[in-house]
Amino acid sequence: MSSHVVQQLVDVDAATRARLKGQKPVAIWLTGLSASGKSTIANALEVALVERGRHTYLLDGDNVRMGLCRDLGFTDADREENIRRIAELGRLFVDAGLIVVTAFISPFRADRALARTIIGEDAFVEVFVDTPLDECERRDPKGLYGKARAGLIKNFTGIDSAYEAPLSPDIRLETLGRSLPEVVRQILGYLDERFAATDLTTSRSAANRE
Ligand code: ADP
């Protein structure tokens, strides 16, 4: 970074923006193998939060890779840079007052730890979408495991690139044999408990009526 870059002071701060939105801004960081359920869960979670009157933003792997990170591939170094950029983006959205849901494989512990540092411990929720590899391969909604097994895709997580499962995630979600609403309820329950004082998940209209 150039030593001539000086941070500009601004009058409207993160707390003001959060107060205006009436919510605790956080990043809900989903990590797991391809086809574990990250995008599906992230989408359903965002719907549930919006139904509760929350201001949200969803960052999803494929979308980001088509834009902000389109210059990056799937080598270890590129995956690391991909996650760093997403974390910086997540930090800005949290600073803007939003509840951010991210759905990226984010296979390396060190990169997720960096994301936690960038976004800030008190606003970071690591969610391990814990679906066994053989179940992910069975689901294979995009046919990617088939291609990876045939050698047509290199550096595929779980096949010829490592997935380092979180050792102590904030939430561990099992999806095998569980319905999507059940899984979403587990996340909402956690958010309710951890951020109870800030009333993150209760319906605002319901709260206003009380
Ligand atoms: P990822 O984003 O992790 O690559 P996707 O969400 O694209 O995964 O795909 C997961 C697949 O698993 C979807 O086809 C989804 O319908 C299916 N699935 C089955 N059970 C569940 C569950 N409990 N939660 C989430 N997805 C599930």
Q: Enter the tokens of residue 18.
A: 């959060």
Residue 68 lies in a domain: yes
pLDDT at 201: 46
| Rg of the chain taking only CA atoms, in angstroms | 18
Nearest protein Cα to ligand 1, atom 18:
37
Nearest to 28 by CA among 158, 173, 143: 173
Residue 145 lies in a domain: yes
Top-confidence residue, 117 or 2: 117
Number of domains in the chain: 1
Return d(Cα 56, Cα 26) in angstroms, integer.
Answer: 10
Residues 79-107: what's their mean pLDDT? 96
Residue 193 lies in a domain: yes
Q: Name beta bridge partners: 174.
A: 130
Range of the domain at 102: 21-197
Q: Enter the tokens of residue 52.
A: 């509760």
Domain of 64, CATH number, reads 3.40.50.300
Q: Which of 106, 161, 168, 203 is catalytic?
A: 106
Residue 204 lies in a domain: no
Return d(Cα 83, Cα 91) in angstroms, integer.
Answer: 12
Q: Is 128 in the pocket of ligand 1 (CB under 6 A)?
A: no
Catalytic residue flag (residue 106): yes
Residue 195 has pLDDT above 70, yes or no: yes
Confidence of residue 203 (pLDDT cuts 50, 70, 90): very low
Q: In 96-170, which residue ranges form alpha helices assigned H by DSSP?
A: 109-119, 133-139, 144-149
Answer yes or no: pTM beyond 0.95: no
pLDDT at 5: 86
Residue 206 has pLDDT above 50, yes or no: no
Residues whose CB is less than 8 angstroms from the CB of residue 177 and which lie 6 or more positions away in sequence, other chains included: none
Confidence of residue 61 (pLDDT cuts 50, 70, 90): confident
Q: What's the one-letter identity of residue 185?
A: R
Q: Is 171 in the pocket of ligand 1 (CB under 6 A)?
A: no
Confidence of residue 45 (pLDDT cuts 50, 70, 90): very high
